[in-house]
Amino acid sequence: MAAPTPVSAYLHSATMVKAGVFLLARLWPALSGTPEWFWIVGGAGVVTLVLGAYIAMFQNDLKGLLAYSTISHLGLITLLLGLNRDLAAVAAVFHIMNHATFKASLFMAAGIIDHETGSRDIRRLSGLFKAMPITGTLALVASAAMAGVPLMNGFLSKEMFFAETIDLSAMPWLDVGLPIAATVAGIFAVVYSLRFSVDVFFGPPAKDLPLEPHEPVRWMRVPIEVLVLVCIVVGIFPQWSIGPALDLAARPVVGGAMPAYSLAIWHGVNKPLVMSMIALVGGIALFLLLHKALETGRLKHVPLLQGIDGQRLFQSLLYGLDRASRRGLTLLSTHRLQPQMLLIVLAAIALAAGALWRGGVTWGDRERVPASFEFALIWVLGCVCAIATANQAKFHRLAALVMIGAVGLAVSLTFLWFSAPDLALTQLTVEVVTTILFLLGLRWLPKRLQDESPRLGLKVRARRARDFTIAIASGCGLAALAYAMMTRPAPQSISPFFIDRALPEGGGTNVVNVMLVDFRGFDTMGEITVLGIVGLTVYALLRRFRPPREMIELPPQQRAVPPDLVSDLINPRTAQDTALGYAMVPAVLVRLLMPVAAVISMHFFMRGHNLPGGGFVAGLVLSIAFITQYIVAGTHWVEAHLQLRVIRWIAVGLLLALGTGLGALFLGYPFLTSHTAHFTLPLLGEIHFASALFFDAGVFAAVVGSTLLILTALAHQSVRSHRKAPEKTVTATTGPREVD
């Protein structure tokens, strides 16, 4: 409302302030009907209704009066939605329509008054009806609709509101208090409506106005005339004029079945009519009592609320939240990863223990799988490697990374043991890519400080004992939960649905792949989109990232390694070690491995719809093949012989996935609906073809592009940081020496 009045008036005429109330109405079928909804939504509504109307009575600015009256009417609508009754929801929708018409016309009338007189101060405006009779008449009718005068549209929805407050059956004090609060709000509404109309257009003519008041141009009044005509027509002929539109708008709010209601203008003498008459008479009487005090300006502040500044309270609340968040960050945050992980694990253990405190954990009666020595041996080796990882982490990080890779291999073999080859392939390829990522990240980790003091050694041992205890507790807890879940039958499993429909509806026998590219194709498209965004984000961040100075200033033996090789990033020790790496894995063999890996990748891709494989696994296999070229041959050789352009891979992959979905829409089917066909080709025989092949190709391209972009971006950044170090060289006789 800070814009100039004519502008803000037309903005308000679009009733943009009703966005939140509209959202409440749309969520009403799903969230209403509970005590929590009644007390939270209804309580907020009744407080807003009464408080907004009370403050509106004492406003001297036309826009301020209408703004607070809008708050009050939005509270009325919110209260109706909080009553958990279908008829109350219909009344709320009806009042949204009526309030939009009379309030928009009043705001535009306020804009005209401001434009033609140069003032919005009610204390300076009076007697404008003689100079602006048409505008005054329109404003009087709209004010009558806002006050709930009979034969106006506002009267009908307010009658429905009064009826709903009377029919409430909750608690004795609430059954009496809510109608009283509604009537009091109605009295206040009459007062601020009279202030807008009587105080502005009647009385002695205003003298010291900035502009000479007169009627606006014809087209400036047309919107108000149309809206005021709607107020009158709906108030006199409600069923004929607004009935069909109200039915259309309210039916989705109440969930489809409309309650019985009547839009007649006369229902006899009843309690809602008595409440309306009390509101009208009481409002006129209160207006006359306050008229002199308001006119003379003796009431400079809102009574009972003069010491409350809402803006100051809101700013104080924001300041308090900011201080509390800073204190919380000071207490809980740290730049070290280990304390953060400790808090996360402890919170998970506490929440899980609290949830299981009463019921405990019981095993199911599902038939057990016979014990297997081979499977037990796999996990004995996995546990040994896990313990070795924790032990080697404090001495040799590279050895710890190798050990944790062995744990990942045990997990992959477990998936394979339980007849999940797709998961096994995915886990295995992800383990390889993750290991390479960790290898590239090892370079950025700070060196461990060795301090032989007994006090520090005792502290370290205590911390390791604590971490070991927490690890045992969390691991055993997860094992117990997993065992409890796997030993229970799944009476409502969704697996039969996908198994039965994979071939006839998805055109493939590999249920996992059909789910990813057909039944859950939209989810998969979102996942590859996120993967592409992550790759581009890493690339963009690392382009401008510069490592700390201590990371650049490497020891002499590390600066002696040729900086143009990514192999240096994986084993950054000495030139002799690098040469040994070349001797162990000749670059020629890795280059010969490239076409073999590409064939295997295409094999996984082409068979994925019917056998274990698919675009995701195939993309990771090809990415690993490219990364091995970087590791052994170096960045210069690869980029000179292979123009990968990995960003284009991401773009092509997303376009292929999107094009597959749009193709189904073009043919009249839902988005990403797959189709299958069979062709007979010479020499090859019958060929099974599924449109999901294009979608899987998009997954394949996006995975290759994102994986290579992340890994090569990190590798290039490491190489650039290495080149920033002071140059040194190694000679066969004298060792490292300084050069200019």
Residue 504: what pLDDT? 86
Asked if the model's pLDDT at residue 464 lies above 60, the reply is yes
Residue 451: what pLDDT? 53
Q: How far is CA 398 from the centre of its chain?
A: 39
Residue 167: what pLDDT? 87
SS3 485: helix
Name the strand (E) or helix (H) holding 679. Answer: strand 676-681
Q: How many residues does the chain have?
A: 740
The average pLDDT across 651-656 equals 94
Range of 458-462, 618-622, 662-666 with top mean pLDDT: 618-622
Q: Between the CA of residue 679 and those of 3, 435, 685, 690, what are the distances in Å? A: 67, 42, 8, 11
Residue 392: what pLDDT? 80
- Among left, alpha and beta (phi > 0; psi -120 to 50; other), residue 614 is left
Spatial neighbors of 152 by CB under 8 A, at least 6 apart, are 102, 141, 144, 145, 231, 232, 235
pLDDT, tens digit, 9 for 90 and up, residues 566-594: 444 444 443 333 433 444 456 677 778 88
Closest CA to 608 of 442, 427, 454, 422: 422
> By percentage, how much of the chain surpasses pLDDT 90?
40
pLDDT, tens digit, 9 for 90 and up, residues 53-81: 999 999 988 988 998 999 999 999 999 99
For β-strands 676-681 and 735-738, DSSP reports them as unpaired
Residue that is written with structure tokens 């209260």 in the block = 79
The average pLDDT across 397-409 equals 89
Residue type, 547: P
Average pLDDT, the chain: 83
For 182-281, list the strands marked E by DSSP: none
Asked if the model's pLDDT at residue 98 lies above 70, the reply is yes
Asked if the model's pLDDT at residue 635 lies above 70, the reply is no
Asked if the model's pLDDT at residue 509 lies above 80, the reply is yes
Residue 245 binned pLDDT confidence (cut-offs 50, 70, 90): very high
SS3 493: coil
Closest CA to 663 of 703, 701, 690: 690
Asked if the model's pLDDT at residue 337 lies above 90, the reply is no
The average pLDDT across 511-515 equals 89
Closest CA to 212 of 108, 142, 130: 130
Residue 181: what pLDDT? 95
pLDDT, tens digit, 9 for 90 and up, residues 363-384: 888 888 788 888 899 989 999 9
Q: What's the rounded Cα separation, in Å, for the pair 525 and 531?
A: 10
The average pLDDT across 342-354 equals 89
Residue 677: what pLDDT? 80
The average pLDDT across 252-268 equals 87
pLDDT, tens digit, 9 for 90 and up, residues 668-700: 888 888 888 877 778 777 777 788 889 999 999
Say whether pTM exceeds 0.85: no
Q: Which sign, positive or negative, has the C-alpha torsion 414, 419, 425, 426?
A: negative
pLDDT, tens digit, 9 for 90 and up, residues 101-122: 999 899 899 989 998 998 988 9
